[in-house]
Structure 1
Amino acid sequence: MDDIIPPSGDSAESPSPSTVGTPRDFSGLPLPPGMLDNLRQLGYLAMTPIQDAALPPALQGRDLIAQARTGSGKTAAFALPLLCRLDPRRLAVQALVLCPTRELADQVTQEIRRLARFADNIKVLALCGGTPMRPQRESLAHGAHVVVGTPGRIMDHLQRESLALEALDTLVLDEADRMLDMGFHDDIAWIASHCPRQRQTLLFSATFPDGIASLAQRFLHAPTEVRLAERHAAGKIRQLFYEIEHPARLQAVVTLLRRYRPASALAFCNTRQQCRALVELLRAEGVDALALHGDMEQRERDQVLIRFANQSCTVLVATDVAARGLDIAQLEAVINVDVTPDPDIYVHRIGRTGRGEAEGLALSLCSNADRRRVAAIAQAVGFEPAWQDGADLRDGGAAGDAPPLRAPMSTLMILGGRKDKIRPGDVLGALTGEAGFTREQVGRITVTDQITYVAVARAIAPHAVRRLSAGRLKGRTVKVRALED
């Protein structure tokens, strides 16, 4: 998993106090003093609604079914109970968290590591597809307390007997509805059958399709159910719908971006071809854009997400592979280039913005034929569509002469990572020490096993490449280049 320094203390799932009533703090829970101190240091000042509802029964050891969307603080809602049950002196897998995607698994791993800082030597390991098996087997051989992974890769390790679950105390199913959508029901059942019967099982899901009840009946014992009425606060996400002919949609996206000028935006397309076409157009119009879709190799997807999260890319154009499991801090806008017929997918798409206390903007482009889809979504979700005049989007409107949207940062790739003992502080020190740059010119630093990524202010990127290449990092020279398209 990646070691990360966010630019200003952002985390994968930043806590935010409830806006309903007076939020309770964590001191009223039966948590160890060291854990409470760590929570305060991490900025967990008050429980979110899902934490307030789920933590008491989970800390009592009860099985749990909880409705919670990404960004609601759900990671802490299951991480704190599993960490409380751990015996750090016993180097065996005592908790397993199943996630639908590698992106979500990586974010969950990062957050559990942060929450585990109160105790020494708690080892949290991510096991996901798209990366070689051998390093994962070696890491498992050295021992781990918590494993976070995708069903397919967890099954691979169980079949190869590189992963043992005899000591398991806690099983977590995160975004269970998404795992069912992806066809993982039988895989989850197979993995659960390899877990001890005496365990705690925590199931988190944004929606409750029929398959959730089936899973709960098979694998949970007398679970407590937590269903929160809130999904995405209607007042926090401004939803606007523009009627425009399908051939004009891509150019309309350019106009919307220039009109609203979000610092970061996520544009959803229904097809990979549409993604590629939109990215090509945006770049031609001076917008820093990247694509994320299923045809890409895992390494490419990882780099795209790193660059988008560290502000080296203004617009991420994605298929619904990015609709769940991504938690991008301070995402200002979501654009639905194509209307989805599925209300749940629509909710998950627009839910990437308007996180915590922030407000968000959701813009949807629709043809006249899409109006029935929009009406069905509005009825299912419970809002009144705000239709806008799409006529002025066709020719660029008043925003046609606006300056291009350039990302403020540029990402440098350093050939060397955790295997070379490189840590984020080493990179920060090299840039702000001998290289002479300021802390404000350095953004997010992400360290993987073999590669390190650092965001720097775009204006200094060429100078930073030269200074890092000419200097030394951890006592040796390293190869550095800027990631450009």
Structure 2
Amino acid sequence: MQNRGEDWRNQLQAPPRDNRLKTTDVTATKGNSFEDYYLKRELLMGIFEKGWENPSPIQEESIPVALVGRDILARAKNGTGKTGAFTIPTLERIDSKLEAIQALLLVPTRELALQTAQVCKELGKHLGIEVMVTTGGTSLKDDIMRLYSTVHVLVATPGRVVDLANKGVADLSKCNIMVLDEADKLLSHDFMPICEELVTKYMPRNCQKMLYSATFPVTVAQFKDKYMREPFEINLMEELTLKGITQFYAYVEEKAKVHCLNTLFSKLQINQSIIFCNSFNRVELLAKKITELGYSCFYIHSKMQQAHRNRVFHDFRNGACRNLVSSDLFTRGIDIQSVNVVINFDFPKNSETYLHRVGRSGRFGHLGLAINLITYDDRFNLYKVEQELGTEIKPIPPAIDKGLYCA
């Protein structure tokens, strides 16, 4: 088909092209273009102005199916374009003249809600679509006031949207699209009852449901069988679990971890790094140690006030600091492409957490490095993670080739 946007597309001030090496989970496409999906001209403008030139594999598989209203169960590696896979067809199907919530995008954390809402606003800026984000830990009164004006797309964490629906403020009766991003987390024991309440009490019966995640535990299958109508299944995870991310471990005693980290900082070429700990107390203690060593460092965890968390996330994303110490709060869907090194200061207890942590590097096909500090007590968990993810975590060499994780 002829490029209907060609006349204005060339005039857009596109961001500079990223020429870094990319992995096949974003480059092995069918060769489709966004124009092939007959999207509205205004939506195409938003896509190209954001610098998205062609769809990634998950977008190629997902967008045409979502556009015809089918339920979707999609599994793809973190950082391969899942957000675009559901926001583009969602925005295409919104009627901006209908003053009602028409799409609910559920996410498990406040940070991911803010990020997803921002993508929606950028892609839909020429469509006249109103996007609202609502999460726990923010002013309920402000959200109630906002809902008195037009909202087309609601990006939310589950507890807050149920609260607003219970109060009769968020009317979801015309909401025909429901997306669960990081579905494995949303359908865990913490969130499952709330998500089921939303589906059974407030959403239209024939609402389109789209689930996206890198891992699909039993709870997702149960939700699928109970609430989805013959969902179209997409699985791009057969061989792509940790593609592009080189993984090493360093065998150390607990008391030597900070010294080991200091050595890594001096030897690695870090654009930005995220360093994970298993508790919020250890996050704060480690951040203090790193600062004392003379390195720039922020920290973030779930016990911090929301305004502080938002500021840290915003500043780190904008490059104000090179290193971020985090609890597992930060493992879900956070997309910061300049992060090229992840360090597990504390090794995680299970393979799912490992997958999501390490997936913070190597975003959208770029190369990344994961280094794990392993104590004697971690040795069985290391073996278990390798077996369950079908991956190899090698002993750290004396020198790490920069070509493995740098542009």
- Normalising by structure 1, report the TM-score: 0.74
- Aligned-residue offset at 1:198: 2.4
The amino acid of 1:136's aligned partner reads: D
% identical aligned pairs: 32
Is the counterpart of residue 170 in structure 1 residue 177 in structure 2?
Answer: yes
Find the partner of 1:130 among 130, 137, 141: 137
Cα offsets for 1:196-246 (capped at 9, x unmatched): 112211111221111101111222111111111357565521111100001
Find the partner of 2:291 among 271, 283, 294: 283
Q: Which residue of 2 aligns with 1:347?
A: 355
Q: Which residue of 1 aligns with 2:329?
A: 321
Q: Which residue of 1 aligns with 2:102?
A: 94
Find the partner of 1:260 among 255, 268, 273: 268
- Aligned-residue offset at 1:290: 1.5
Q: Which residue of 2 aligns with 1:365?
A: 373
Q: Which residue of 2 aligns with 1:103?
A: 111
Q: Which residue of 2 aligns with 1:72?
A: 80
Q: List alignment gaps of at least 5 residues for structure 2.
A: 1-14, 400-407
- Aligned-residue offset at 1:89: 0.7
Alignment of 1:55-66 (within 5 A): 55-66=63-74
Q: Which residue of 1 aligns with 2:188?
A: 181
The 2-side partners of 1:172 and 1:356 are apart by 21
Over 3 Å counting, the alpha-carbon distance change for 1:313 and 1:171 in structure 2 is same
- Aligned-residue offset at 1:163: 0.6
The amino acid of 2:357's aligned partner reads: R
Cα offsets for 1:429-461 (capped at 9, x unmatched): xxxxxxxxxxxxxxxxxxxxxxxxxxxxxxxxx
The 2-side partners of 1:168 and 1:148 are apart by 12
Over 3 Å counting, the alpha-carbon distance change for 1:58 and 1:172 in structure 2 is same
- Whether the 8 Å CA contact 1:333–1:353 is kept in 2: the answer is yes
- Aligned-residue offset at 1:340: 1.0
Q: SS where residue 326 of structure 1 aligns?
A: coil
Q: Which residue of 2 aligns with 1:118?
A: 126
- Normalising by structure 2, report the TM-score: 0.88
- Whether the 8 Å CA contact 1:269–1:318 is kept in 2: the answer is yes
- Aligned-residue offset at 1:32: 2.0
Coordinate RMSD, CA, aligned: 2.1
The 2-side partners of 1:295 and 1:261 are apart by 31
The amino acid of 1:369's aligned partner reads: D
Alignment of 1:332-343 (within 5 A): 332-343=340-351
Q: List alignment gaps of at least 5 residues for structure 1.
A: 1-7, 393-485
The amino acid of 1:20's aligned partner reads: A
Find the partner of 1:382 among 390, 395, 398: 390
The 1-side partners of 2:173 and 2:126 are apart by 26
- Aligned-residue offset at 1:23: 3.0
Q: Which residue of 2 aligns with 1:144?
A: 151
Over 3 Å counting, the alpha-carbon distance change for 1:334 and 1:145 in structure 2 is same
Q: Which has the larger radius of gyration?
A: 1
Over 3 Å counting, the alpha-carbon distance change for 1:235 and 1:179 in structure 2 is closer
Q: Size of the alignment, in residue pairs? A: 379
Q: Which residue of 2 aligns with 1:54?
A: 62
